[in-house]
Structure 1
Amino acid sequence: MFVAMNRFHVAVGQEEAFEAVWKGRDSSLADMPGFIDFHLLRGDSVPDAGYTPFISKSNWESKDAFVAWTKSENFRAAHRNAADNRSMYLGPPKFEGYTVVEGA
């Protein structure tokens, strides 16, 4: 299994708007071969730094399945308007990908 995560620093006060963007998106993830599931995670705000951490996390049967998603028309369509929401973030998201070594 492969876990793909993007870490976001969302400006304090923009949390609900950020969540609404994710809840309203048309990702077509479920249509992709090898897709298992998706979660949007929200951490505790860091007021002194001015952000709330979020992680978008998707699980895939393999890294190859994830890479195929990133090269698909579904991916391009899901991310087409991403730049419209830049004002919500403190910097760009940080991608992290992991191959599961052991799991329950």
Structure 2
Amino acid sequence: MSFIAMNRFRILPGKEETFETIWKSRESRLKELKGFREFRLLKGPEGEGHTLYSSHVVWDSREDFEAWTKSEQFRDAHKNAGNSGTKDVMAGPPQFEGFETVLHES
């Protein structure tokens, strides 16, 4: 049906705007890939010492997502990970979660 790839980010207090700017100014090449449907960056609640964010990417299938992780576009998007300023705004590494859709209503 579809596959949703999510990364959770714990962002240090006062660094939320910097984190959002990094995402807004990045060069996304997701639209170049087969099976890409939609990307969202979600801002969640404040926790102890952080604000929770999640990147949320919808793919047609797990196979399309896995093809993305092996693509030139993926390597380009992640080549400066840790150097792009995100390391100084995050309270630890991102946490990946992948989900297969079992029910969808619209």
Instruction: Specify if TM > 0.5.
Output: yes
| CA shift for structure 1 position 27 | 1.9
Structure-2 separation of matches of 1:24 and 1:68:
24
CA deviation digits over 1:38-65, x for unaligned, max 9?
A: 000001222xx21000000000000000
Equivalent position of 2:19 in the other structure: 18
Residue 64 in 1 paired to residue 63 in 2?
yes
* Greater share of helix: 1
CA deviation digits over 1:61-98, x for unaligned, max 9?
A: 00000000011110111111111221111110000000
Q: Which runs of 4+ in 1 moved over 6 A?
A: none
Considering only aligned residues, what root-mean-square deviation do their CA atoms show, in Å? 0.7
Structure-2 separation of matches of 1:20 and 1:79:
16
Q: Is the 8 A contact 1:27 1:77 kept in 2?
A: no
Secondary structure at the counterpart of residue 9 of structure 2: strand
Structure-2 separation of matches of 1:8 and 1:54:
5
Q: TM-score, normalised by structure 1?
A: 0.95
State the number of aligned residues.
Answer: 102
Structure-2 separation of matches of 1:28 and 1:95:
20
Equivalent position of 2:75 in the other structure: 76
Equivalent position of 2:103 in the other structure: 102
Q: Give me the identity figure in percent.
A: 46
Q: TM-score, normalised by structure 2?
A: 0.93
